[in-house]
Amino acid sequence: MFKKIFIIVLVAFVVFGCVKKANDQEGAVVYADSRFFPVPEFTDLFAALDYVQMSDFDRVIPESYLSDITNVYVAAFYLGNLTADAIVATKARNKTKLTAVAITMIDYSRMIGINQEVLMLADELMTLLQEDRWDELLLALDIYKVEVEMALYVSRQIDLMTLVQAGGWTEGVYTMTSLLLQDFDIRYTAILNQKGIIDNLVNNLSQMENHDLYELEWFQNLVSGFSRIHAIINVPGKEVFTLDEVRELNEITESIKEISRLEPRVETSNL
């Protein structure tokens, strides 16, 4: 119970941001953290698509995962991808694929500097997986996602946290649209109506501390991709989406995923 309360407090702290003065002297510079970090649960979102069969979930899970990423920024984005895939693999009850996802998640969590206390949660994930405790796994995966994001926030690795969430939502939108396209029903497209989250992600990607990222093709494609997603989703009063719009969202997120596999060269000294 204490663990859940602690997570809720941390989430509230992150969502509302923090403002602090550099010192108490008159005229001191005020530092304002103007990035906002929603921490939505993929389990709740994907639950809206439970009308599809387990085999449908299985078809949208990648057959293999990258194991040779060396750039910490790409690793953060890819870790975000994996947080969404893990939920889908759990809903598909695919033990082989989920094992591959979980192992890769742990590897990239270590690479971007997640502390040992959070990594210990990974042991719990593997235990639940081996024991086929699927419902508990869904909850544990969401907790792991939150804990990774909180660890990055507390250590002020805000660029990496931004990329983890952008990666998660890239994969999340890609997965949701892929499932919708398998058996299109406009009523269920309301799952994509996440205006506040997309607003925040577009804002956050425009405020990266490492300005070298803006010179890289993969990051430019990420920013422009979310700008296009924003234009489709953030229409006032729009609640559902046409087949063409769902198809376009699918193509945009697939493009973001593909170009992010190119290793950029970027300084990481500010981490």
* Residue 208, domain extent: 38-259
pLDDT digits (tens, 9 = 90+) for 241-259: 999 999 999 999 999 988 7
Angle formed by the axes of helices 217-233 and 72-91, to 10°?
A: 50
Within a domain: 8: no
Within a domain: 86: yes
pLDDT digits (tens, 9 = 90+) for 213-232: 999 889 999 999 999 999 99
Within a domain: 33: no
pLDDT above 60 for 12 = no
Within a domain: 21: no
3-state secondary structure of 239: coil
Within a domain: 130: yes
Within a domain: 14: no
Within a domain: 2: no
* Residue 217 exposed, middle or buried by CB count within 10 Å (0-12, 13-18, 19+): exposed
pTM across the whole model: 0.83
Within a domain: 99: yes
Q: How many independent structural domains does the chain possess? A: 1
Grade residue 14 by pLDDT with cuts at 50, 70 and 90.
very low
